[in-house]
Structure 1
Amino acid sequence: MTAVDQPAASLDSVVVGSIEHTGPPDNSQTAPAARPLTVAGIRAAAAPILARLADTARQREIDRDYAFVEVRALADAGIALTGIAVAEGGAGGSLREVTDLVIEIARADSSVAQALRSSFLTANQVAGRPDLPHREQTLRRLRDRDLFAGTSNERTGGASGQVNATARRDGADWVIDGEKYYSTGGLYADWFSTQAQTEDGTVLRFTVPVDRAGLRRLDDFDAVGQRLTASGTTRFTGVRVRADEITPAPDTAPDNPWQGSYAQLYLAAVQAGIAARARDDAVAYVRHKARPIKHSTATSSLDDPYVRQTVGEIAARAQAARAVVLLAAETLEGVRGRTGDDARAAGAAAAVEVAQAGVIAIESALAAAELVFDVGGGSITDRALGFDRHWRNARTAANHNPRQWKQAVAGAFHLSGEQPPTTGLF
């Protein structure tokens, strides 16, 4: 399987107001080069692709033009293999190095970074869990440069995450009907993972190729920001799932039950990338477009003390976001390999640190994105510049990652030792 690598206009069908995708176009002529991977090599290969993404992000959002070519190129560069062991075909990078790469992708285009989240989360599970179900099969798909998406969310699911998608037996197979929402990265993916409920109430988790008959991906995500994350509806109509595509439930609870910590760290890394891009755009605007206000003592905005102060604050916010995210990545990597009570204690502390990093990253990104407008006058608000997207992107991502809960949980941990919830938000 390979991911979509053609512009949106060449996809299966286009409907006014939404795009319906029944499968990716064939790009079987593209094969990843068989060469040893290194972190430095992946970063070097990704650099020109990220530059193109950065240059086109504003216009693509206006045109609702997905970056299929660039995402395919990033996948072929091996980005999802950054943290996979060298012996298993990866670059052997640390979790810090993987997270730093995510920040750089988000700096170029935060929608692309978020769309790649499931692929990075899948790779992180492979890297950190020797007991992962279907691990060898998933590793092979990663080496083939396949991309992943998945969600359990339903718009009818309620606060408790009720599963309304159904699974019924048909011989040795299962047949799935239902809809999932927030299918982040779904239009780019080769594989989709989700769950459905059987007649006896059992929840089946499974992964299927996106071109499986009856599976349709809709481009109907309509948020104020992160508009090109491909986070809309995935519809299942009589989708057949084989027995070997079912992910078995674990026999025992993991020693570290905070399995969602890296997923939360990833969202914080996206925020850090948004803050960095706000800094980049503020600097570029002052250097090339800004003019001092009438009563400024400076003849150039570069010399205006208040512009300098504002850019300095934006830069400090971006640095703070990056620093806390990378520090949390180091802490989270330290949980790997631990067992028993030691793993539980380390996992709880790491989950709290990730939550705290998320708070700082979100608030830093929102502040940096708002401060961009203080380095110029009325013309900096021109829609053609698209600077408003930084705040919209940060705000939308923050709503998927609510910081009030993170702050309260962190406070309870520090005050009384109360462990964080084991839900996906920690």
Structure 2
Amino acid sequence: MVFDTDLSNPYLRQAAELREAFAVDAVERDKAGGQPIEQLRLLKASGLLRLAIPRTYGGEGQPWSTVLRVVREFAKVDGALGHLFGYHTGSQAAAWLYGSSEQAATLYQRSARNNWFWANNGNSRSRSLFGKREGEGWVLNGHKPFTSGSHIADYLNITWLDENGETVGATIPANRTGWKALNDWDAIGQRQTGSGTATYENVRVEPHEVHQPGATAGAPFRTVTPFLQQSVLLNVFLGSAQGALLTARGYTREESRPWVHSGVERHVDDPWVKRVYGDLYTRTLAATALADQALQALDQVWQLGFALTAEQRGQYAIPIAAANAFAGNTALEVTSKIFEVTGARSTANRFGFDRFWRNVRTHTLHNPEEYKTRNVGTWFLTGEPPAPSIIQ
């Protein structure tokens, strides 16, 4: 087993084909940043943007375990595209999690029919976007940071603060007058995610666009957005680790020279090189097993839906947090240590091997492992699960 893709699954087979297409210019695109326009075209043509939409509403009706394995596939060559696809599916599900069933049905149907790509303007930690009532609707002014996917979006999941400092959510089209993605993302990694700033100048939100949870407003199921976010990230981490390791193996086999004092004629025969690869592979294999358990947990959460209890939410939070923390640490280790066994020439910019580490390092800083591990440790010692919040 070398991180094989389940090609018997038609959606994963399609993702693997796209992965190979994305790999052709992944290094050049990472250097350029900006918008992955051709890759978005390929995604739309594939039909995978409808993967998580229930069949009832015109989608493919696939479980999160399939959706997030697609994220993993893309991240093997391009962490930014894995991130974008994952956040698209999470934003697409926002009305289902926060609004009424009628709102969700309408948006799912329209999204499936129009093949929309979704983006996230729902960063609840940011207190920089404000809304005022105007008639039955709202008018928004301010900005949102970390708006992943906004630079190529058709539709947006958004949140703002009302006059009382309470959070309000809605879904709006990306061509709404007054809304603008600045495309100013300038991090060392994830360079094509468009995770910079979106500005709002007198942006109108209509009453039917505002999320209306109704009687189930306090249901535990409405607090599971962090499960989706953590799951996207952990599969970006894992895919990056798998891709980095496979890429490094190919380079070591074909390009690396043995160290002058190694006593071997081929780099692959050096006992040190064998041990490092053995260790990195074992760690990545363990991270894969934990990630797969977390996928099962997320599938079960989604199947329960609004029947999910607070106790069950706490139980399911643990495998997802554990997998997230371990995947992030493993990916940092793998994407850094591959250079020890590929050699000095592998640092040439034309290879772009550093993109794996830069992407993982950028994302792990937005999702600190320390707090996930503390949550797991607290639960293990006391049985107390993480309290629902915007990041847990």
Q: Same fold (TM over 0.5)?
A: yes
Instruction: Give the distance between the partners of 1:257 and 1:412, measured in 2 at CA.
Output: 24
* Code of the aligned partner of 1:89: G
Q: Which of 48, 63, 72 in structure 1 is aligned with 2:32?
A: 63
Instruction: Give the direction of change, closer, same or farther, for the CA distance of 1:190–1:340 in structure 2 (3 Å limit).
Output: closer
Instruction: Give the distance between the partners of 2:258 and 2:241, measured in 1 at CA.
Output: 24
Q: Which residue of 2 aligns with 1:254?
A: 219
* Code of the aligned partner of 2:190: Q
Q: Could you tell me whether the CA contact under 8 Å between 2:51 and 2:60 is conserved in 1?
A: yes
Q: State the SS of the aligned residue for 1:134.
A: helix
* Code of the aligned partner of 1:196: W
**Runs of at least 5 residues in structure 2 that lack an aligned partner in the other structure:** 1-6
Map residues 178-217 of structure 1 onto 2, 5 A cutoff.
178-217=142-181
Q: Which of 299, 315, 319 in structure 1 is aligned with 2:281?
A: 315
CA shift for structure 1 position 202: 4.4
- How much is the aligned-residue C-alpha RMSD, in angstroms? 2.5
Instruction: Give the distance between the partners of 2:238 and 2:162, measured in 1 at CA.
Output: 41
Instruction: Give the distance between the partners of 1:126 and 1:273, measured in 2 at CA.
Output: 28
Verify: 1:218 aligned to 2:182, yes or no.
yes
CA shift for structure 1 position 339: 7.7
Instruction: Give the distance between the partners of 2:348 and 2:192, measured in 1 at CA.
Output: 21
* Code of the aligned partner of 1:112: L
Q: Which of 122, 145, 150 in structure 2 is aligned with 1:152?
A: 122
Q: Could you tell me whether the CA contact under 8 Å between 1:258 and 1:423 is conserved in 2?
A: yes
Map residues 344-359 of structure 1 onto 2, 5 A cutoff.
344-359=310-325
Stretch of structure 1 that moved more, 296-305 or 326-335 = 296-305
Q: Which residue of 2 aligns with 1:397?
A: 363
Verify: 1:407 aligned to 2:376, yes or no.
no
CA shift for structure 1 position 162: 5.7
1:79-113 CA-to-partner distances (Å, cap 9, x unmatched) read: 23334444443334333222211110111210111
* Code of the aligned partner of 2:103: H
Q: Could you tell me whether the CA contact under 8 Å between 1:275 and 1:369 is conserved in 2?
A: yes
Instruction: Give the distance between the partners of 2:254 and 2:348, measured in 1 at CA.
Output: 15
Q: Percent identity?
A: 27
CA shift for structure 1 position 174: 2.1
Stretch of structure 1 that moved more, 295-304 or 407-416 = 295-304
CA shift for structure 1 position 126: 7.3
Q: State the SS of the aligned residue for 2:153.
A: coil
Verify: 1:54 aligned to 2:18, yes or no.
no
Instruction: Give the direction of change, closer, same or farther, for the CA distance of 1:337–1:67 in structure 2 (3 Å limit).
Output: closer
1:124-167 CA-to-partner distances (Å, cap 9, x unmatched) read: 5678899546111221133132111123338xxxxxx3634222
Q: Which residue of 2 aligns with 1:35?
A: none
Verify: 1:329 aligned to 2:316, yes or no.
no
Q: Which residue of 1 aligns with 2:42?
A: 73
CA shift for structure 1 position 240: 1.5
Alignment length (residue pairs)? 383
* Code of the aligned partner of 2:81: V
Verify: 1:232 aligned to 2:196, yes or no.
yes
Q: Could you tell me whether the CA contact under 8 Å between 1:182 and 1:233 is conserved in 2?
A: yes
* Code of the aligned partner of 1:152: G
CA shift for structure 1 position 207: 1.6
* Code of the aligned partner of 2:356: H
* Code of the aligned partner of 2:218: A
Q: Which residue of 2 aligns with 1:7?
A: none
Instruction: Give the direction of change, closer, same or farther, for the CA distance of 1:124–1:178 in structure 2 (3 Å limit).
Output: closer
Stretch of structure 1 that moved more, 79-88 or 135-144 = 79-88
Q: Could you tell me whether the CA contact under 8 Å between 1:149 and 1:193 is conserved in 2?
A: yes
When the two structures are superposed, what TM-score results if normalisation uses the length of structure 1?
A: 0.83
**Runs of at least 5 residues in structure 1 that lack an aligned partner in the other structure:** 1-37, 155-160
Instruction: Give the distance between the partners of 2:306 and 2:132, measured in 1 at CA.
Output: 38
Q: Which of 206, 210, 214 in structure 2 is aligned with 1:242?
A: 206
Map residues 4-403 of structure 1 onto 2, 5 A cutoff.
40-123=9-92, 132=101, 134-143=103-112, 144-153=114-123, 161=125, 163-251=127-215, 252-256=217-221, 258-259=223-224, 260-338=226-304, 343-403=309-369
* Code of the aligned partner of 1:116: F
Q: Could you tell me whether the CA contact under 8 Å between 1:125 and 1:132 is conserved in 2?
A: no
CA shift for structure 1 position 237: 0.7
Instruction: Give the direction of change, closer, same or farther, for the CA distance of 1:138–1:363 in structure 2 (3 Å limit).
Output: same
Q: Could you tell me whether the CA contact under 8 Å between 2:12 and 2:66 is conserved in 1?
A: no
Greater share of residues in helix = 2
Stretch of structure 1 that moved more, 180-189 or 290-299 = 290-299
Q: State the SS of the aligned residue for 1:187.
A: helix
Q: Could you tell me whether the CA contact under 8 Å between 1:179 and 1:235 is conserved in 2?
A: yes
Instruction: Give the distance between the partners of 1:312 and 1:71, measured in 2 at CA.
Output: 36
Stretch of structure 1 that moved more, 327-336 or 191-200 = 191-200
1:161-220 CA-to-partner distances (Å, cap 9, x unmatched) read: 363422223334322111000001111211112122333444331221111111110111
